[in-house]
């Protein structure tokens, strides 16, 4: 039976629950956040351009799943379809609700603060949009991630505008924030961020922002899919400023690190990989880097598949795997983005995830995959792992 939740969304699952007894303790050797997806209301009468409507119970229950494995939750980020279906009113409500759930569960939470309530404007308007979102995040009791802004990328005349905007925000932030560098492969509108298409020059500007306000920057979340560049950046960060890898291609080697340091993690791929990722990092906690790599290295093939070009559509595969794993009752996304990947792509994602043992109930996953294929008349075109021949 379904029921309407506050705000008009349909609940298609039970209420969000506290972490189960015996849930994993927080990780010690690395700070690890899984950027979490949202669960759409499949019964909402809306359009791809219309307001986002969420199944709040299923969305929040998935956050408890992540916390139960000892991971932190990165909320209202790119994985939650910020800028690709999740509008600011829905994101603000998501931040408020997740903040309340984090307090109840004792879970760690960071939330994205950006400017997506506007599409363009003056630097003053961009600053005001950031301030509005930062206030919502701080009121929810969460740490802020200052997300890269499409409006700022379109408006800024050069590095000095980034220094001005970020300097203003850092001066007023109540606690240290995470800065966010999302590459153009994730969002083409962010090309030339930090005031230059030259990544070396952009890095210098980012480091100048940090150097001006070092006590207000907890870390930098870098998503450029460029492991050498990430290693070079983290070696230049001031003491006490973390590097959070957002590299969904090279995360095992970057998190393990080398003699000159390591990266923490804020990763969309850790949404479907949560149990394996947590188990792997516990090996680092006990001084077993070989065990960490043994668990995590085999997941890279799936990650590279999910994040293949166009990279921004990785969310479709993430939501597919959540449905196949039983975390939600349907494969529907805000903005209709369940259609953003091909059937062969989705089928291969199922194959790779099944081979990793990611599904608590492999038979359920196989059944659901065949149901999806049958909708398109393709159930006989692809063999389904775990399904009868």
Direct distance between the N- and C-terminal alpha carbons of the chain, in angstroms, rounded to an integer? 33
Q: Record the tokens describing residue 237, joined without a space.
A: 């960060």
193-228 per-residue burial string, b: 16 or more CB within 10 A, e: under 16: bbbbeebeebbebbbebbeebeebbbbbbbbbbbbe
Report the pLDDT value the prediction gives residue 295, as an integer from 0 to 100: 97
pTM (predicted TM-score):
0.91
User: HEC profile for 5-52?
Assistant: CCCCCEECCCCCCCCCCCCCCCCCCCCEEEECCCCECCCCCCCCCCCC
What is the predicted pLDDT for the residue at 378?
86
The predicted pLDDT at position 23 comes to: 59
Structural tokens at position 157: 């005349």
Task: Give the per-residue pLDDT at 380.
Answer: 80
Task: Please report, in tens digits, the pLDDT of each residue of the chain (389 residues total).
Answer: 233 333 333 333 333 333 343 456 779 999 999 999 999 999 999 988 889 999 999 999 999 999 999 999 999 999 999 999 999 999 999 999 999 999 999 999 999 999 999 998 999 999 999 999 999 999 999 999 999 999 999 999 999 999 999 999 999 999 999 999 999 999 999 999 999 999 999 999 999 999 999 899 999 999 999 999 999 999 999 999 999 999 999 999 999 999 999 999 999 999 999 999 999 999 999 999 999 999 999 999 999 999 999 999 999 999 999 999 999 999 999 999 999 999 999 999 999 999 999 999 999 999 999 999 999 988 887 876 665 54
- According to DSSP, residue 106 is labeled T
Map tokens 């294929």 to a residue: 373
């Amino acid at each position: 039976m379904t029921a309407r939740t506050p705000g008009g969304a349909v609940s298609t699952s039970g209420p969000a629950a506290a972490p189960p007894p015996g849930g994993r303790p927080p990780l010690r050797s690395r700070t690890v956040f899984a950027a979490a997806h949202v669960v759409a209301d499949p019964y909402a009468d809306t359009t791809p351009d219309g307001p986002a409507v969420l199944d709040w119970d299923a969305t929040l229950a998935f956050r408890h799943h992540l916390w139960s494995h000892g991971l932190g939750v990165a909320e209202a980020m790119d994985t939650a379809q910020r800028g690709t279906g999740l509008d600011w009113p829905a994101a603000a409500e998501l931040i408020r609700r997740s903040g309340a759930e984090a307090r109840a569960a004792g879970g760690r939470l960071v939330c994205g603060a950006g400017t997506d309530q506007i599409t363009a404007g003056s630097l003053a308007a961009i600053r005001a949009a950031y301030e509005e979102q930062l206030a919502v995040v701080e009121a929810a009791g969460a740490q802020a991630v200052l997300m890269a802004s499409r409006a700022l990328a379109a408006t800024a005349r050069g590095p000095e505008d980034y220094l001005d905007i970020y300097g203003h925000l850092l001066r007023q932030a109540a606690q240290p924030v995470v800065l966010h560098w999302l590459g153009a492969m994730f969002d083409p509108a962010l090309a030339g961020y930090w005031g230059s298409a030259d990544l070396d020059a952009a890095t210098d500007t980012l480091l100048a922002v940090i150097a001006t306000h070092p006590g207000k920057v907890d870390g930098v979340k870098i998503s450029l899919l460029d492991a050498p560049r990430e290693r070079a950046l983290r070696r230049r960060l001031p003491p006490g400023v973390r590097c959070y890898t957002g590299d969904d291609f090279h995360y095992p080697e970057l998190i393990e690190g080398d003699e000159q340091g390591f990266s923490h993690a804020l990763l969309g791929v850790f949404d479907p990989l949560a149990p394996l990722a947590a188990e792997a990092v516990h090996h680092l906690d006990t001084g077993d880097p070989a065990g960490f790599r043994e668990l995590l290295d085999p997941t890279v093939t799936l990650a590279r598949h999910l994040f293949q070009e166009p990279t921004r559509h990785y969310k479709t595969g993430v939501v597919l795997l959540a449905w196949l794993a039983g975390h939600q009752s349907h494969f529907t996304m805000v903005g209709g983005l369940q259609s953003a990947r091909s059937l062969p792509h989705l089928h291969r994602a199922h194959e790779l995830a099944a081979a990793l043992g990611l599904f608590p109930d492999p038979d359920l996953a196989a059944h659901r995959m065949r149901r999806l294929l049958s909708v398109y008349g393709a159930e006989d075109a692809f063999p389904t792992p775990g399904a009868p021949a």
